[in-house]
Every structure is written in C-alpha cells, then in structure tokens.
Structure 1
Amino acid sequence: MYRWNSIHCPIAQSVPPAFPTQPPGDAGEGAVLAERQAQRTEPPRLFQVLMLNDDFTPMEFVVMVLQEYFRHDLDSATLIMLKIHHEGRGVCGVFSKDVAATKVELVSQAARRAGHPLQCIMEPA
C-alpha cells in the first residue's frame, strides 16, 4: 500500500502549523495578559402572555391557539380557556421579552386570518 505523506507532498512541507504556540516575534517576554473583570449578569426579565376574553371568538379556536402556539395539551388548554372565559383573561405562558412579543404577534395574526377579534397581550411577570 502506498502512503501519501509530507515527504511526497512539497506543499505540506511549506505550510505553517495551524496553531502556533507563540505569536511571531514574541519570545514570551513582556507579554500582557488581559484581566477578566467580574461581571454580574442578571437573568432576562420575564413577561407573561395573556389572552383576553371576548364574546365572539369560539372556545375551540382559543383551545387550538393555546395548543399550537403555547404547546399546552388539550386538558391544560381547556382549563386556561375556561379561566379566560370566566375571569376575562388568562395566562398562556411566561417567556423572555422577545419570545413573548413574538407569541403575541403570532396569535394576533392567526386570529385575524380566522376572522376573530381575539386579543393577546404581554405584561411583566
């Protein structure tokens, strides 16, 4: 079996190593290391997505939206829908600000496409 290696390949002999151990021209003297500053990061602020009751949107549509956009199973979606129906609003989920805003927009678009006045809002959790 014939082996192809750097002896038979002049290009491989002239290629510098991929990760040099020292920067060129630096013998390790006078090198300055960057110090890591202590940073305190806070977790992102959470927002709850709320669905508001109206007299026109069918309960089945609300359950479907809760299942499709908020990943609730049929039982939990039905419980949330009943809470929305009886109390006027219900929490669909708690998310970071960007995710909550996206879900509000997706639900609003789905309701408009279906011809329903369903409203979805977000507020700090």
Structure 2
Amino acid sequence: MSEKFSSDFELADLVEDNIEEPKYYKVLLHNDDYTTMDFVVEVLQKIFHKDKAEAYAIMMKVHTEGIGVCGIYPLEIAETKVFLVKQMARSRGFPLKCTLEEV
C-alpha cells in the first residue's frame, strides 16, 4: 500500500543544506636512490592511468625535485592508490615511498 505525500513541501526541503564536500588529498611519490625511473613510469601508468608522456614528466619531477604529485583524490581513493603503489613496489623489491597530503 502506498502512502500519499502532502504537496505542501518540496523534495529539496528534505535535503540538508549543510552537506560538506569531501576532502581531497594529493598522492605523492618520493625520490630514492634505488627505485628505477622505468618502474616509476610503470607505476604512474598502471595505478594512476597516466599516458607515457605524463608519466615521464611526473617521474622527472620526482627525480629532480625529490617529490611529485600523481593525482588528487578523495581520501578513500587516495589511500587505495598509496596502498597499491607500496604493494607493487615491495613485490618488485623497490623502496618507493608514496604518501598522501590534504589539499
């Protein structure tokens, strides 16, 4: 049995006005003396879906400046990306450091 709703209100009245936007986080790669440049490019292509040129540019930024931004994501996605990078790096024997930072 369906209930009838009064037409005295709008559906928008049911929605709270104080909905907050999710916080976003930068996923960062850090340079080290052991992880190969080719591996960093591979990580950027496989995990962050960067094309070869963009992956190479980010890798060079990591190499020359010590740190580079892979992308900006909501917290859960950023945490997943960090986990996947660490898992892939460890499986290949690299100490690649990946962190996140609130935007």
Same fold (TM over 0.5): yes
3-state SS of paired residue (2:47): helix
> CA separation of 1:37/1:72 partners in 2, compared to 1, >3 Å: closer, same or farther?
closer
* Match 1:67 to one of 26, 45, 55: 45
| Higher-helix-fraction structure | 2
Moved >2 Å (runs of 4+): 20-23, 33-39
1:22 Cα deviation after fit: 4.9
Does the alignment pair 1:82 with 2:82?
no
Partner of 2:93: 115
Normalised to the residue count of structure 1, the TM-score between the two structures is 0.72
Q: Where in structure 2 are there 5+ consecutive unaligned residues?
A: none
Partner of 2:21: 43
Partner of 1:57: 35
Sequence identity (%): 43
> CA separation of 1:89/1:39 partners in 2, compared to 1, >3 Å: closer, same or farther?
same
1:21 Cα deviation after fit: 4.6
Q: Where in structure 1 are there 5+ consecutive unaligned residues?
A: 1-19, 24-30
1:37 Cα deviation after fit: 6.1
Counterparts of 2:31 and 2:85, CA distance in 1: 14
> CA separation of 1:54/1:39 partners in 2, compared to 1, >3 Å: closer, same or farther?
same
Counterparts of 2:80 and 2:15, CA distance in 1: 34
Give the aligned length. 99
Could you say which structure has the greater relative contact order, defined with CA pairs below 8 angstroms and 6 or more residues apart?
2
Does the alignment pair 1:97 with 2:65?
no
1:40 Cα deviation after fit: 1.5
Which of these two proteins has the greater Rg computed from alpha carbons?
A: 1
> CA separation of 1:114/1:44 partners in 2, compared to 1, >3 Å: closer, same or farther?
same
Normalised to the residue count of structure 2, the TM-score between the two structures is 0.87
